[in-house]
Amino acid sequence: MRKYFVLVFMAALVCMFSSCAYATTESLTIDGSQGKLSAMIQKPELNAGEKCRMVMILHGFMGNKDASYFTALADALEARGVASIRFDFNGHGESEGDFVNMTVLNEVEDAKKVYDYVKGLDYVDSVSVVGHSQGGVVAGLLAGELGADKIHSIVLLAPAAVIKDDCIRGIFIGVPFDAKNPPETLKLNDSYSLGREYLLTAQTLPIHETSKNFTGAVCLIHGMKDRAVPYTYSEVYNALYSNSELHFIPDTDHVFSGVIDEVAEIAADFLVK
């Protein structure tokens, strides 16, 4: 028995003086463009002074940070020694702000504030970004604005550049409106209404003009049966970049039903290579 306690004590001392590393999960809030943003950081095992890459994960329109494909990606990254931060954009999930006041441009501002926060963490040596749907548009705009000296690489999951075309046409997820004179609010369903500012700013978003400025590595992943955002939009993105790869996933939809783990593995492998 005495020998057992001596071994336990010695193990504790070793842990104390070698700064034992553990994977951690942390809930936090970050100041965003419209109030506090609810966020979650997953950090892999790191020894004292060790650094790793941080991946920002951006959800899509009416989405949130806890979608299964984001948690699967965060777990896959952690297993590869990469940290991640998932957060809810303003007006979404557990973050502050009203959905009706959300725009793509203030989501870009949210993302910039999250970038500033994680870049200041002492264990982060570089930052990559993953964005799904509208979050993919935001990721492309963010990377195009900040450049490859600040953003290491990006993954765009079914990037929804279609939102610009839809707002120009005057129809949004099946709800028509006057594109030349949008209403103050456009009711989408019993829970969500879009504001006039969203509809107007979406019509002039410099999606491709800004996104193409990014010269780092890009990975595009799109389901071939995506009815919300046709896969041709990823083909257009792919043509913009000089250092990109495009993965089409057959027999899956906009939210990668049935292939979540496969998509997480493709994205995680790309982000660590």
Q: Counting every residue, how long is the chain?
A: 273
Rounded (to 5) percent helix, strand, coil in the chain = 40, 25, 40
Query: Higher pLDDT residue, 21 or 258?
Result: 258
- Residues 49-72 have a mean pLDDT of 97
Q: In percent, how much of the chain has pLDDT > 90?
A: 90
Q: Is the pLDDT of residue 91 over 70?
A: yes
Q: Is the pLDDT of residue 69 over 90?
A: yes
Sorted by sequence, the CB contacts under 8 Å of residue 229 that are 6+ apart come out as 133, 158, 159, 160, 161, 162, 222, 254
pLDDT band at 21 (very low <50, low <70, confident <90, very high): low
- pLDDT score recorded for residue 22: 73
Q: Is the pLDDT of residue 12 over 50?
A: no
Contact 151, 142 (CB under 8 A): yes
The mean of the pLDDT values for the chain is 93
Quickly tell me which residue has 């929804």 as its tokens. 160
Q: Is the pLDDT of residue 236 over 90?
A: yes
Alpha-carbon span 48 to 129, nearest angstrom: 25
CA distances to 60, 62, 114, 130 from 65, rounded to whole Å, are 9, 11, 13, 12
